[in-house]
Chains A and B, each alone.
Chain A
Amino acid sequence: MDPQLRREIILNNYQNPYHKGFPEDDENYIRIRTNNESCIDDLTILLKVEDGVIQKIYFEGDACAISTSATSIMASQFEGKTLQEAKSLLEEYEAMLDEKPYHEEVLEELNAYDEIYKQPNRKKCALLPFRAIHEVLKQNGIE
Chain B
Amino acid sequence: MNREDFPILQHDLIYFDNGATTLKPQCMIDAVVDYYSNYTANAHRGDYDNSLKVDLLYEGVRTKVQHLIDAESSNEIVFTKGCTESLNMVVFGFMKNYLQPGDEVLITKAEHASNVLPWLELEKKMGIVVKYIPLSETNEVTMERLEQTVTSRTKVISLAQVTNVIGDLRPVEQIGEFCEKHHILFVVDGAQSVPHMKVSVRDMKADFFTFSAHKMTGPTGVGVLYGKYELLQAMEPLEVGGGMNSFFESDGTFAYHDAPSKFDAGTPNIAGVIGFGAAIDFLQSIGLDKIHEHELELKRYLVQELEKVPGITVYNKEVDGAIVAFNIDGVFSQDTAVYLNHYHICVRAGNHCAKMLKDEIKVKNTCRISFYLYNTKEEIDRLIAVLQNKEELYNTIL
Contacts and interface: CB of A to CB of B under 8 A. Distances in A.
A17 B394 CA distance: 16
A10 B398 CA distance: 8
A42 B349 CA distance: 14
Interface residues of A, number: 16
Nearest to B331: A65
A11 interface: yes
Contacts of A65: 332, 335, 394, 397-398
B395 A40 contact: no
Contacts of A10: 394, 398
Contacts of B75: none
Q: Which size bracket describes the interface of B in this complex?
A: 10 to 19
Nearest to B363: A62
Contacts of B338: 64, 122
B394 A64 contact: no
Interface string B309-346: 00000000000000000000000111100100000000
B398 A7 contact: yes
B395 A7 contact: yes
B398 A39 contact: no
A64 B334 contact: yes
B370 interface: no
Contacts of A122: 338
A40 B335 contact: no
Contacts of B394: 7, 10-11, 65
Given A6-B398, A62-B364, A65-B398, A38 B351 contact: no
A40 B333 contact: yes
B351 A39 contact: yes
A40 B350 contact: yes
A41 B395 contact: no
A63 interface: yes
Contacts of A68: 332
Contacts of B18: none
Given A62-B364, A62-B365, A38 B398 contact: no
A42 B397 CA distance: 20
Nearest to B334: A64
B334 A40 contact: yes
Interface string B207-221: 000000000000000
B234 to A, nearest CB: 36
Interface in B377-397: 394-395, 397
A11 B351 contact: no
A7 B398 CA distance: 6
Contacts of B334: 38, 40-41, 64
B397 A38 contact: no
Nearest to A125: B334
Contacts of A42: 364
A39 B332 contact: no
Identify which of A38, A41, A64, A122 gathers the most chain B CB atoms within 10 Å of its CB. A64
Contacts of B350: 38-40
B313 to A, nearest CB: 15
Interface string A45-70: 00000000000000000111110100
B373 to A, nearest CB: 28
Interface in B357-383: 364-365
Interface of B: 332-335, 338, 349-351, 364-365, 394-395, 397-398
5 closest Cβ pairs, A-B complex: A64-B334, A40-B350, A7-B398, A64-B332, A64-B335
Given A64-B335, A66-B398, 12 more contacts: A7-B394, A38-B350, A39-B350, A40-B333, A40-B351, A62-B332, A62-B364, A63-B332, A65-B335, A65-B394, A65-B397, A65-B398
17 contacts: A6-B398, A7-B394, A7-B398, A10-B394, A11-B394, A11-B398, A38-B334, A39-B351, A40-B332, A40-B334, A40-B351, A42-B364, A62-B332, A64-B334, A64-B338, A65-B397, A66-B398
